[in-house]
């Protein structure tokens, strides 16, 4: 079985750290709006799933079956968190920044393709590895755009609150 390069996990870990920093600077805004809260949870879950999968895959002495099962388990959890959070954000959120059904379909599809690739890895197909890795890379870019939308949405909401406070004192 081919081995994955270890750089993807490090990049995902670095991005996860940056998202944590951005969120901690605007924690009140994120926790008050369901859209921001669920987007943060889904984005972090996606990044964490990516570097967890990379770490698990790179452990030595595993068969393709073990790698595939680990990949399915991690991706399935991340996909469930993403879908549930997105649906809740649509249902209860206040902010509509980047909250489109197309993002739900794209994200869910990417997780689905990654899961299909992981199942193919279990069957011994090398094509499954390429499918899962390609989907993971695209999903990382998708999660980065979600992190950007989160930061933009939080900044817009934070500036609205700051502006409102400034008007009260004027």
Which comes out higher in pLDDT, residue 164 or 73?
A: 73
Q: Is it the case that residue 6 has pLDDT exceeding 60?
A: no
**CA–CA separation, 109 vs 115, rounded Å?**
10
Task: Using alpha carbons only, give the angle 54, 20, 42 rounded to the nearest 5 degrees.
Answer: 65
* DSSP for 108-148, written as a single string: HHHHHHHHHHHHHHHTT-HHHHHHHHHHHHHHHHHHHHHHH
**Mean pLDDT over each residue of the chain, to the nearest integer:** 82
Tokens representing 102 are 């197309």
In the numeric block, the tokens 């249902």 are attached to 91
pTM of the model: 0.78
- Cα distance between the two ends of the chain: 67
pLDDT bracket for residue 120 (50, 70, 90): very high
Tokens representing 63 are 């068969």
Q: Where are the domains of the chain?
A: 8-159
Q: Is it the case that residue 165 has pLDDT exceeding 90?
A: no
Cβ 30 vs Cβ 37: under 8 Å: yes
- Going by the DSSP 8-state scheme, the letter that residue 170 receives in this structure is -
Pick the range with the lowest mean pLDDT from 7-11, 61-65, 91-95. 7-11
Closest alpha carbon to 6 in 64, 67, 54: 54
pLDDT bracket for residue 98 (50, 70, 90): low
pLDDT bracket for residue 77 (50, 70, 90): very high
Q: Is it the case that residue 170 has pLDDT exceeding 50?
A: no
Mean pLDDT of 72-79: 98
Instruction: Name 33's Cβ contacts closer than 8 Å, sequence gap at least 6.
Output: 93, 94, 95, 153, 157
């Amino acid at each position: 079985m081919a081995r994955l390069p270890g750089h993807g996990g490090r990049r995902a870990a670095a991005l996860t750290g940056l998202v944590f920093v951005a969120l901690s600077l605007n924690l009140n805004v994120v926790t008050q709006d369901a859209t921001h809260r669920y987007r943060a949870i889904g984005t972090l879950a996606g990044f964490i799933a990516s570097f967890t999968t990379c770490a698990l895959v790179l452990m030595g002495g595993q068969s393709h079956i073990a790698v595939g099962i680990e990949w399915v388990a991690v991706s399935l959890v991340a996909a469930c968190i993403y879908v549930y959070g997105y649906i809740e954000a649509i249902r209860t959120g206040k902010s509509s920044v980047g909250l489109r059904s197309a993002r739900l379909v794209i994200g869910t599809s990417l997780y689905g393709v990654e899961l299909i690739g992981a199942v193919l890895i279990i069957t011994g197909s090398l094509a499954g590895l390429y499918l899962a890795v390609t989907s993971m890379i695209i999903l990382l870019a998708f999660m980065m755009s979600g992190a950007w939308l989160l930061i933009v949405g939080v900044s817009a909401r934070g500036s609205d609150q700051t502006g409102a406070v400034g008007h009260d004192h004027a």
